[in-house]
Structure 1
Amino acid sequence: MVIIKKKFTVLLTIIVTGIMSGFALVSINKQVLYRTNEFFHQTDTYTPIRLPQHFIGQEEYEQLIMVFENVSSETELSYMKKTVNESNEVDTSWNFKIQPKLEMTLYYQGDVKSSHEKVPYSNTSFRVTSIEESIKIKDFEGEFFLMTREKEAYERVISLFTDRFNQAFHTDYATNIFEDFENSYSYSVISNTDVYNYRVYLTIGLILLFLLLSSFFLLMNKEISLLLNNDFSLHQVLWCLLGKKKIIITFIIAGIIGGFIFMYYKEQFLYLFQMYVFLFSGIYGISLISLLLVEKIASLREAFNYIQYILFTFGLLFSLLLTVANVELATIVFSSSQLAVSHEPPKEIAGEDYHVFYPVTIGKNHVDFIYSNRFASAADQELYETLNKNGSILVNVSDYLNEENEQFGRGIKINLNYLKKFPLIDVSGRLIQITEKETHPVILIPERYRHTDLKNDLAQITEYYQEISEKEPKFLFIKNNQPIYTFIPSIPWIEHYPVVEILTLKNSMYLERNILSGEIYPPLKIKIGSLSKERLFELIEESQLRDNLQLSFPYTQTEEIAVKVLSRSFHYLIQIFLLTFFSFFLLSYVMLCIYFVYNCRKIAIFRSSGYSLFETYKDFFMMNLIKWGTTSVIFLFLIEREPKYLFNIFFFSFIDFILSVVFILSTEKKSQLLLMNGG
């Protein structure tokens, strides 16, 4: 019992220290949020000026800055630019990292004292520098602001700026295109600054703390009764059980952590202090309640049957809590289990390399993503024609995979490069031949729709495309059973499709092509060959899309990259594995400790009386079977049939099984005299 007591108090000290550290990290994260909002909202006292076009070349950007400078000089009103970059920190080595990051920069007019602040334990950094620096580092994106809140002054500047802009770029934009005094395109930072999920760990830590405290006092009932019978007060019993040294060490650690927060994050010290008060009050309250319950029970030995029910309830309750609270590892494992074992490209493209971009990040294009399609339009305009000439293949099956769409809305979109690699044949046996100059929509319909029983479906399809097309569509019938290669490893071929739309440069716009959908299987497959990967990224850089398109890889690796995105980094993956294993291990260990401490004499008597191993541990086996059976039934039928929960149940029960075997073997090796004396 002394060994058990020592183990439990050490575990309690470790968990309390971990929770205190977690509170400190949450405090730091609150400071990051505070600093992020403070920095981001510095422009709230200014008024935005909206630009009707993207500037991707240095010469035209310098010309834009010159327009701002001239207008500022004439009106004596300053301007500035804000860039908010929400993208990823990327490392594709074995020690991978695809982790969100947030970079904010304020560019001011004139001489500015440059500063760069990287917030520790976060993904966030802030910069302040001059507008000239944006030219040097080729940061041409962002929002421009006029440093005033006076409407009359704002309108005067906008009027002059419109004239100067139109003169410089030979355009004829109206004043209202630039005007946005009320900031109608406002947005907030989307990224989560808590990149390490401290709050999840705290939740699990608090669950384990409650479990350990309750279990500890249940185990120590004899010692508690003895101390109370010798006129010890509840406070003295508590002090004696938990250990003076460990309590003092815990408070010293709390003081050190609090001092660190006070020195470097003073604004969050009060929050941390409140969390510590909550933590220690909770520990004290649970401890007193547990002591009072033990005091009220005259003899736990006489209430043995009730203890079995308590054990069962504890095990079931905390199993459910941890199964729900700790699902990150299960989500990643389940996603990994869906990876295609192997995928060999078809012979038509064997030996060729096709890449995709994923994930597509917001980058510096918040307004474009939220309020318009300018990002998709710009990406298509800057990239598609070049990549199309290079032989890149477009296959968009997103409408087809959406089973809620009507049949006529489940068309598959392809470009001419697809037909060059995977030819389709019409009903006369001729190859489908289309050129990039084709301006009319071209719709391929399988021959089966000419049959009498599908005539109505054919009428719906033709009517649908006639309604949505500006020009009269060309409907061509093709032979049945000509599968479309999807470039999706898990479903490589689609055979029974209603229509195929052929997209040319002249008969489609960026919305139809949707080359960078942001989904896991983007429509455009970029051919790497004559266009090297290095040249591809140079093209991305020149187009000011590097903040959005950071990661390019072969399409066959899509699922693997998706799992890495979900996992964030190798270190984070190891971290959540250890947390999951430790939490499940600790719960199982505590429950087994209690069971074997209370049943060691019974086990000794049964074994010495010649009972078999199964007969001796029959109750134990039944309790575990009922516990895991009940847990599985609850999740299968009462909550939701989520595979991640079932994985947690399996993982948890596996750890429980291994530990049970270890405890049984350890108990079997002990002498019967030792077991009769309490183990």
Structure 2
Amino acid sequence: MRIPSKGGIKTLVAFGIKSCAAGVLIAVAVGLFSAFTLVSDDASALTDWSESTDYAVYFPRSNGDDLQAIKDGTDGISKTVAERIYPELDDRGGIYVEAADMDVVGDDPVLPYVQMSVNTNYLEKYPVLDSSGKPIAVSDEETDWVIAVPETLKDREDLIRDYVQESRNGPSDSDVEYSEANRYEVSDAVRKQKVRIVWTQPGQDLFTFNTQIRPEEGNTLPDPIVTVMTRSNTIASDWENTITGEIDTPMKVRVDGDPEKVYQELLPLFEKYELDDNFTALVYPADAINEQFSLSSEDARWLITAAIVAGALTVVLSIVAVVVAYERWRVHSAIRRLHGYSRLKSFGEVFAGLATSWLLLIPAALVAATSFYVLGGHVAIPEYFHPLVLLDEWPALLAVTGSVVLVEAVIATAVVMVFDRRHPALRLKEI
């Protein structure tokens, strides 16, 4: 077995360290692209939502005294909100609307259609028309599991009904099974619940109250399947996402132009269940967007600084790696030059080593992003450092990686030519 020489090991180490630095640069640069995208989206949404004053959201969600419990997954905040807070917000006219964006439509193997879940307050504010053109009316005493489906899907009625029924209270992987496993009370009515389909008029764009969903179309979804949830046809677990602390949290609290007054009215309830330190502000969507805009802008500034530092480090390490490889192969190069090789061809090993190191760039970027995400935790590190987000931004990932490759190729060519011209006599003596 051949043992690599010290020069060979130094070259491998130099290229490896250079690739790690370049990976960090790529991860930060793609994160910066995501941050600028968020800043742009927030700026656009701020304009669109500036006049929305009837409803407010609890934003942001704080860790309060529950940081360790949140990390352990034992805080129970979502369960408390679902069981104790949602009923009060519903009684006050709060709108619950949870919608899936268009890009996740194809994820469901049986129902590959846009979907929404709403409460009855939503239907009163934003009517959904049935197939005859009349607004759908669902009572809060309704115990059937009601889904409003565009009549264009009538040919799939049995399939839709059976699938939803199985998902709701079937023997495995159902809402009932989940609720029992998490110690929610499940009524007999829900255990025996039947699915009722209401056919809707096609061509309806329904408002999602979500700033991220089709902002260019007024945050609406075309012809979604709508699940209508009432206090009588649901389990408390159905309301777990009521307050997430995000701008697009499903629950929009009715405030009628005075969020501070409503916050103070609800404060005793939140204090009773020790949630006042987690949900400290009730603000208009525009105010939440404005705060998010400030946070995204701050993230972008931080990422610009990090990108500059990572870029400078990558350039320096690229030069060092090429110099180390040059020293490793300079005698071989001199011999090749005597045999008529061009300056660049005589250093084929240097460029081959550099090209091999490029295969490590994207894996190194994913490792860097994962390290940032895991070490910081998703409470402290913005979501655009998640490795899956990095892959989702693959056009930016490939563009940044290509730019790094181009810059490193230029650096390598320049270093080889400069050193080769400065030390020709020395190389001839070493032959």
Q: Which amino acid aligns with 2:98?
A: N
Is the 1:339–1:559 contact (alpha carbons within 8 Å) kept by the matching residues of 2? no
Instruction: Trace 1:571-650 onto structure 2 (pairs within 5 A).
Output: 573=303, 576-577=306-307, 580-581=310-311, 583-597=313-327, 615=345, 620-628=350-358, 630-631=359-360, 644=390, 649-650=401-402
Tell me the CA shift for residue 496 of structure 1.
5.8
Tell me the CA shift for residue 351 of structure 1.
3.9
Select 1:663's aligned residue among 415, 418, 426.
Answer: 415
**Deviation per residue, 1:413-460 (Å, 9 max, x gap):** 11345435543211112122456x554454323223433x54343355
Which residue pairs with 1:209 in the alignment? none
Which residue pairs with 1:429 in the alignment? 133
Q: Distance in 2 between matches of 1:515 and 1:568?
A: 28
**Equivalent position SS for 1:318:** helix
Q: Which amino acid aligns with 2:317?
A: L
Q: 1:427 to 1:651 in 2, by over 3 A?
A: same
**Equivalent position SS for 2:147:** strand
**Deviation per residue, 1:438-493 (Å, 9 max, x gap):** 54454323223433x54343355468668875477764221234344432525555
Q: Give the count of matched residue pairs.
A: 360
Kindly indicate whether residue 190 of structure 2 is the aligned counterpart of residue 489 of structure 1: no
Instruction: Trace 1:544-563 onto structure 2 (pairs within 5 A).
Output: 544=271, 545-550=275-280, 554=285, 561=292
Which residue pairs with 1:511 in the alignment? 237
Q: Distance in 1 between matches of 2:162 and 2:354?
A: 62
Which residue pairs with 1:280 in the alignment? none
Q: 1:643 to 1:495 in 2, by over 3 A?
A: closer
Q: Which amino acid aligns with 2:243?
A: L
Greater C-alpha radius of gyration: 1
**Equivalent position SS for 1:380:** helix
Q: 1:564 to 1:323 in 2, by over 3 A?
A: farther
Is the 1:335–1:563 contact (alpha carbons within 8 Å) kept by the matching residues of 2? no
- Unpaired runs of at least 5, structure 1: 1-289, 295-306
Kindly indicate whether residue 61 of structure 2 is the aligned counterpart of residue 360 of structure 1: yes
**Equivalent position SS for 1:363:** coil
Kindly indicate whether residue 182 of structure 2 is the aligned counterpart of residue 478 of structure 1: no
Q: 1:466 to 1:339 in 2, by over 3 A?
A: same
**Deviation per residue, 1:351-389 (Å, 9 max, x gap):** 436654455344235779727422443442554544x3x
Tell me the CA shift for residue 515 of structure 1.
1.4
Instruction: Trace 1:308-457 onto structure 2 (pairs within 5 A).
Output: 310=9, 313-319=12-18, 321=20, 329=28, 332-333=31-32, 335-336=34-35, 339=38, 342=41, 351-352=51-52, 356-357=57-58, 360-365=61-66, 370=74, 372=76, 373-381=79-87, 383-386=89-92, 388=93, 393-397=95-99, 403=107, 407=111, 412-420=116-124, 422-434=126-138, 438-441=141-144, 442-451=146-155, 454-457=157-160
Is the 1:481–1:496 contact (alpha carbons within 8 Å) kept by the matching residues of 2? yes
Q: Distance in 1 between matches of 2:118 and 2:85?
A: 18
**Deviation per residue, 1:17-60 (Å, 9 max, x gap):** xxxxxxxxxxxxxxxxxxxxxxxxxxxxxxxxxxxxxxxxxxxx
Tell me the CA shift for residue 324 of structure 1.
6.9
Q: Distance in 2 between matches of 1:670 and 1:426?
A: 83
Q: Which amino acid aligns with 1:458?
A: R
Q: 1:631 to 1:432 in 2, by over 3 A?
A: same
Is the 2:90–2:121 contact (alpha carbons within 8 Å) kept by the matching residues of 1? no
- Unpaired runs of at least 5, structure 2: 171-175, 177-188, 371-386, 392-396
Larger RCO of the pair (alpha carbons < 8 Å, separation 6+): 2
Q: Which amino acid aligns with 2:64?
A: G
Q: Distance in 1 between matches of 2:127 and 2:137?
A: 9
Q: 1:537 to 1:328 in 2, by over 3 A?
A: farther
Tell me the CA shift for residue 625 of structure 1.
2.8
Is the 1:415–1:502 contact (alpha carbons within 8 Å) kept by the matching residues of 2? yes
Which residue pairs with 1:163 in the alignment? none
**Deviation per residue, 1:289-330 (Å, 9 max, x gap):** x9xx87xxxxxxxxxxxx5x5565334533555567888636
Q: Which amino acid aligns with 1:530?
A: G
**Deviation per residue, 1:97-152 (Å, 9 max, x gap):** xxxxxxxxxxxxxxxxxxxxxxxxxxxxxxxxxxxxxxxxxxxxxxxxxxxxxxxx
Q: Which amino acid aligns with 1:377?
A: E
Is the 2:161–2:195 contact (alpha carbons within 8 Å) kept by the matching residues of 1? no
Q: 1:556 to 1:590 in 2, by over 3 A?
A: farther
Q: Which amino acid aligns with 1:631?
A: L
**Deviation per residue, 1:66-112 (Å, 9 max, x gap):** xxxxxxxxxxxxxxxxxxxxxxxxxxxxxxxxxxxxxxxxxxxxxxx
Q: 1:633 to 1:583 in 2, by over 3 A?
A: closer
Instruction: Trace 1:104-183 onto structure 2 (pairs within 5 A).
Output: none
- TM-score, normalised relative to structure 2: 0.58
Q: 1:604 to 1:323 in 2, by over 3 A?
A: closer
Q: Which amino acid aligns with 1:625?
A: A
Kindly indicate whether residue 257 of structure 2 is the aligned counterpart of residue 530 of structure 1: yes
Is the 2:20–2:364 contact (alpha carbons within 8 Å) kept by the matching residues of 1? no
Kindly indicate whether residue 201 of structure 2 is the aligned counterpart of residue 500 of structure 1: no
Is the 1:446–1:480 contact (alpha carbons within 8 Å) kept by the matching residues of 2? yes
Which residue pairs with 1:132 in the alignment? none
Q: 1:633 to 1:327 in 2, by over 3 A?
A: closer
Is the 1:444–1:476 contact (alpha carbons within 8 Å) kept by the matching residues of 2? yes
Kindly indicate whether residue 397 of structure 2 is the aligned counterpart of residue 653 of structure 1: no
Q: Which amino acid aligns with 2:228?
A: I
Q: 1:445 to 1:569 in 2, by over 3 A?
A: closer
**Deviation per residue, 1:649-679 (Å, 9 max, x gap):** 557535534543653575588586799899x
Tell me the CA shift for residue 396 of structure 1.
1.3
Q: 1:599 to 1:350 in 2, by over 3 A?
A: same
Q: Which amino acid aligns with 2:61?
A: V
Q: Distance in 2 between matches of 1:459 and 1:597?
A: 71
Q: Which amino acid aligns with 1:431?
A: P
Tell me the CA shift for residue 531 of structure 1.
2.5
Q: Which amino acid aligns with 2:227?
A: E
Q: Distance in 1 between matches of 2:416 and 2:326?
A: 9
Q: 1:461 to 1:410 in 2, by over 3 A?
A: farther
Q: Which amino acid aligns with 1:477?
A: W
Is the 2:343–2:417 contact (alpha carbons within 8 Å) kept by the matching residues of 1? no
Is the 1:408–1:460 contact (alpha carbons within 8 Å) kept by the matching residues of 2? no
Q: Distance in 1 between matches of 2:288 and 2:329?
A: 54
Q: Which amino acid aligns with 1:352?
A: S
Is the 1:334–1:644 contact (alpha carbons within 8 Å) kept by the matching residues of 2? no
Tell me the CA shift for residue 525 of structure 1.
3.7
**Equivalent position SS for 1:370:** coil
Q: 1:351 to 1:658 in 2, by over 3 A?
A: farther
Is the 1:485–1:494 contact (alpha carbons within 8 Å) kept by the matching residues of 2? yes
Percent identical pairs in the alignment equals 18
Q: Distance in 2 between matches of 1:510 and 1:602?
A: 75
